[in-house]
Amino acid sequence: MELNRYIDHTLLKADATKDRICQLCEEAKEHHFASVCVNSYWVSTCRDLLSGSDVKVCTVVGFPLGAMSSEAKAFECQQAIADGAQEIDMVINIGELKAGHYEAVEADIKAVVEAAQGKCVKVILETCLLSKAEIIKACELCMSAKASFVKTSTGFSTSGATIENVRLMKDCVKGVCKVKAAGGVRSYEDLMAMVEAGADRIGTSAGVQLLNKEENTKGY
């Protein structure tokens, strides 16, 4: 098992500097992580730094709240791809899901999927704010909208990924989508538990420490 290829090496903090982004990309190249996941401002920088490597550039859309208009999310996605993004992690409209306005939620996801022009779209559910029934429904909407992944969390809300929710999501999508666990994956044991529960990708700021079996007590 190539654990490094599960990892989206992540830096989404507001105070991230170019020096720190450069360090993120160097670490990702050294360890051959699946991607770096950054805010869209840094996409073109990462594109240039990772040129010729096997590390993809991933960015976030509608992050971290998901309460932006679908048109704004679609534009953000289009611009990110023009700048060099190869994967998009978008946040659903959580309020509309909780209100039972499922057509609006699906249309929101579809707008980004279409704007992504065939590139990988991971849909962040923010599971800590959802009931089990809402997680199941969100997964169904993601499948219908032809998303590539369902993702547990932004890492910026009340809690992150749990084993129970990763298992639930894996069961729901039945292989139609893949599953990404993110938020609170800060030890090698956490990493292995998420993979064993069915995660196909792990979002973490602690990728280097996890591979070295060192616990990280801070960060995404």
Q: Which residues are catalytic?
A: 89, 151, 180
pLDDT in tens, 144-191: 999 999 999 999 999 999 999 999 999 999 999 999 999 999 899 999
- Residue 196 CB contacts under 8 Å (≥ 6 apart), including other chains: none
- What is the spatial distance between Cα 129 and Cα 122, in angstroms, rounded to a whole number? 18
pLDDT in tens, 198-208: 999 999 999 99
Tokens of 77: 């996605």
Q: Cβ distance 21 to 43 under 8 Å? A: no
- Provide the 3-class DSSP secondary structure of residue 91: strand
Tokens of 74: 């679609």
pLDDT in tens, 11-39: 999 999 999 999 999 999 999 999 999 99
| The CATH fold of domain 3-211 | TIM Barrel (3.20.20)
pLDDT surpasses 60 at 219: no
**pTM for this entry:** 0.96
The predicted structure's pLDDT at residue 1: 74
Among residues 108, 95, 101, 106, which one has the least CA distance to residue 69? 108
Residue ranges of the domains in the chain? Answer: 3-211
pLDDT in tens, 61-97: 999 999 999 999 999 999 999 999 999 999 999 999 9
Q: Cβ distance 205 to 216 under 8 Å? A: yes
